[in-house]
Structure 1
Amino acid sequence: MILVRKLLIGMGGTVLAVAVAVMVAVAVDFGTCIYAEYRLSCAVRDAAGLGSDPFVAILGFPFIPQAMRDHYDELEIKANAVDHAMVGKATLEATMHSIDLSNASWLFRPGAKLAVGKLESRIIIDSVHLGRYLGIPDLMVEAPPAETNDATGGTTESGISSSHGLVFTGTPKSANFNKRVSVSVDLSMTGDDRTTLVLTPTGILTGPDTANHRVPAAKRDAVLSAFSGRLPDQKLPFAVAPTSQGARGSDVIIEGITDGVTITLNEFKQS
């Protein structure tokens, strides 16, 4: 009985020692990852001329083996309230997959080139700033009704809706109309470099999940015109060409996805 007790105590001590070692290893890995994220955030801020440190996340566990082989599986960069053309402020976002750090090191040398297997790039314009630009300060943006009722979460991997039939709701005072209305709006990109976001209203919406207010025929064209607009110079981070436009939450998002590119951090902010 005494022998069994000693064996159990010995096994318990071994298990405890292993558990402590695992916890220490996880803590070291986590702390190293946080430091790398901090260094990358500072590097992006300095290289792109941002006013503050962007949010950075290096994904995948454990972190240290990724750093040792100079290859990150995935990382995200998100800069909020960035000075941006036409609308004043916007959020810039980039998600990178399969990042080769051979020229940059895990702490990101300034000006180093990064080979990226897949790059997702976004400009996010919230309804507040878009509404100010359009002269509709109470603007609310929603995905097309069919997609709002669909549990799939949008038509792209990041949950962005399609570009046709978005619901814009607000008070179009520039049309001398002082009641909230809902308008169906299509989004598109135009221009030689496809950096101009075009908002094209297509009709007044009534019924459930809308402002449900009819517009007299004499006011219809003016009301629709209040929800139209052109936003030039919407250049995506790292100069990625736009591949989709849509809504997520109450934001309008321009997204571009490309494969097999080489970038530098100073290309994060384009305009």
Structure 2
Amino acid sequence: MRRVIIVLLVLVGLFVAADFGAAALAESVVSRQMRQQIGLRDDPSVRINGFPFLTQALTGRYGSVDVQANNITVAELEDLSVQAQLRDVDAPLSTVLGSGPKTLKVGEAEGSVRIPARDVEQLLNRNGAITLDDLRIDPVDEAGLKAAAEESDDTSLTSIDPDLAVRLTATTVLPLLGENEVSVIAQLSLDNGKARIVPRDVRFGGNALPTAVQRVVAEVFTVTVDPGSLPLQVTPTELTAESGALRVSGTARNLTIGGASTE
């Protein structure tokens, strides 16, 4: 019995090793194809989800494939992250592992570009009126908007959709007021794939600013960010704030990826 158990364990180990090896090879093929499709300089990270891989490979159907590429430069932005999740992928084993053209059919693709706070800070500082340091980006929920409305006595803040609200916080120096933390609640909008930030409430050290100074600070925080196109020509439909970044995302259906040889 002990010998049988050992043999079974060896066979299981061999199967797992073969499964991971085949998956790694397929991921490498998909990575090269995605690099060409998205137009990247380097191969992105690709993960074919689900275990075992071989059962998916035999049917040529994959539930989901994750693709990610980091440190991408687009115009003035230097540290973008591009992500895509491919769902209901149709790729026969002969296509994935063969030497011919690589073509993948995708039922649905969700693509997004993540714009980190550091890139947003660089854009804001190009306005030149004041210099911002250590910019932080955070979402604002309904309770946060209500609290800000009560502090500022501006009930219009509660009309902002929390999904389109963002809090930008940084350290700066203002003339005659010294150094302190500036906090801005802004409204997000998406225009032709570009992220628009429009301040609605400005605080310095937790307090309101004189009207003239507030106008200057608000102008610094008013900016349009162009992250470039989404992967797989996905149409941008959503702009959201998350901890440390802005994210532009969208979905597309019934895609064909590739068709040319990756050799």
Match for residue 134 of structure 2 among 138, 155, 167: 138
Letter in 1 for 2:108: K
Conservation of the 8 A alpha-carbon contact between 2:124 and 2:220: yes
**Structure 1 position 57 matched with structure 2 position 47:** yes
Q: How far is the alpha carbon of 1:186 from its aligned partner?
A: 1.6
How many Å separate the matches in 1 of 2:143 and 2:99? Answer: 43
Q: What does residue range 154-233 of structure 1 map to in structure 2 within 5 Å?
A: 163-171=163-171, 178-190=179-191, 194-204=192-202, 212-232=206-226
State the AA in 2 paired with 1:169. Answer: T
Q: By how many angstroms is 1:174 displaced? A: 9.2
After superposing the two structures, state which structure 1 stretch, 104-113 or 20-29, moved more.
104-113
TM-superposed deviation, 1:116? 1.3
- Rate the CA distance shift 1:146–1:185 in 2: closer, same or farther, 3 A: same
Identity %: 25
Higher strand share: 2
Is contact 1:198-1:231 (8 Å) kept?
Answer: yes
Q: Deviations over 1:186-241 (max 9, x none)?
A: 21111xxx2222111111258xxxx6354233311111111111124632111111
Give the TM-score normalised by structure 1. Answer: 0.76
Specify the alignment match of 1:257 in structure 2: 251
Match among 25, 33, 38 for residue 35 of structure 1: 25
Per-residue deviation, 1:249: 2.2
Q: Say whether the 8 Å CA contact 1:175–1:226 is kept in structure 2.
A: no
Residue identity opposite 2:169 in structure 1: T
Q: Does the 8 Å CA contact 1:47/1:110 hold for their aligned counterparts?
A: no
Give matches, 1:83-94, under 5 Å: 83-94=73-84
- Separation (CA, whole Å) in 2 of partners of 1:58 and 1:128: 31
Unaligned 5+ residue runs, structure 1?
A: 1-10, 149-160, 267-271
Match of 2:156 in 1: none
Q: Does structure 1 conserve the Cα–Cα contact (< 8 Å) formed by 2:133 and 2:172?
A: no
Q: Secondary structure at the residue paired with 1:141?
A: strand
Structure 1 residues 196 and 46, CA, compared in 2 at 3 Å: closer, same or farther? closer
Matched residue of 1:224: which SS?
A: helix
The aligned counterpart of 2:158 is none
Cα distance, 1:167 vs. partner? 0.7
In structure 2, what is the equivalent of residue 120 of structure 1? 110
**Equivalent residue, structure 1, for 2:157:** none
Contact preservation (8 Å) 1:197, 1:234 = no
Q: How many residues align?
A: 237
In 2 relative to 1, CA 92–51 (structure 1 residues): closer, same or farther, beyond 3 Å?
Answer: same
Contact residue 170 and residue 183 of structure 2 kept, 8 A: yes
Give the aligned residue type for 1:69. Answer: T
The amino acid of 1:167's aligned partner reads R
Can you list the C-alpha shifts for 1:153-176, whole angstroms capped at 9, x where unaligned? Answer: xxxxxxxx9542211011456999
3-state SS of paired residue (2:42):
coil
Measured in 2, the distance between the counterparts of 1:51 and 1:168 equals: 32
Shift of 1:262: 2.9
Structure 2 CA distance for aligned equivalents of residues 86 and 111 of structure 1: 36
Q: Deviations over 1:61-94 (max 9, x none)?
A: 0101212222221111111011213423311110
- Tell me how far apart the structure 2 counterparts of residues 114 and 197 of structure 1 sit (CA, whole Å): 31
Residues 250, 78 of structure 1: CA spacing in aligned structure 2 closer, same or farther, 3 A cutoff?
same
RMSD: 3.1
Kept in 1: contact 2:38–2:232 (CA 8 A): no
